[in-house]
Amino acid sequence: MAWGNLDEEDPYQVFKVTKLASGNYSIQCVGNQRFIDWVNGDACLTTAAYNLPLVEKQTTEQIITPDIAHNTPWFMLCNVKNKCSYHMLSHNNGSGESGYLCAANVGYNSFNYWYIRRVDDAVGDAMTENGLKKTYATLLELAIENAKQVRAKANDYEALIYEA
């Protein structure tokens, strides 16, 4: 999962948060309908923790903790399998423009606390529809490109029999 500059029209930057029976949450990307999963380790110690994956089915419960200690409207996000908070890799102390989301045990700072804002249900539904259209269009483009490459290989052969 990656981060970038805020685009309120981008369905890939909107997430549906659902409270689970356990009191934890599922967090689902509106754009591609995938769920935040988990990554093992601490990005401060290993590159294996650099890219937080999105998966097709809800498998890992997410933890959302309000920042009561600093009296801010921010939240710390992590999951039940790894308590390292979700952190913006490549933030470059505020001058970064994009990068991966990772799990990093860096303590309190603005690069691992998140602002959560409610989106109106009608807007969320429209973004879900647009996101799915965009996702399906991208998948179709990839399938067409792959088909073109396969067809080109099928036409690229050297004849071994010239007369029969």
Rounded distance between C-alpha atoms, residue 39 and residue 3, angstroms: 16
Question: 113 and 63 in contact (C-beta within 8 Å)?
Answer: no
Q: Is the pLDDT of residue 103 over 90?
A: no
Overall pTM surpassing 0.85 (yes/no): no
The per-residue pLDDT for 146 is 92
pLDDT of residue 109: 63
Task: Summarize pLDDT for 2-55 with one digit per residue, the tens.
Answer: 777 777 788 888 889 999 999 999 999 988 899 999 888 887 787 777 888 899
Q: Give me the pLDDT at residue 90, please.
A: 75
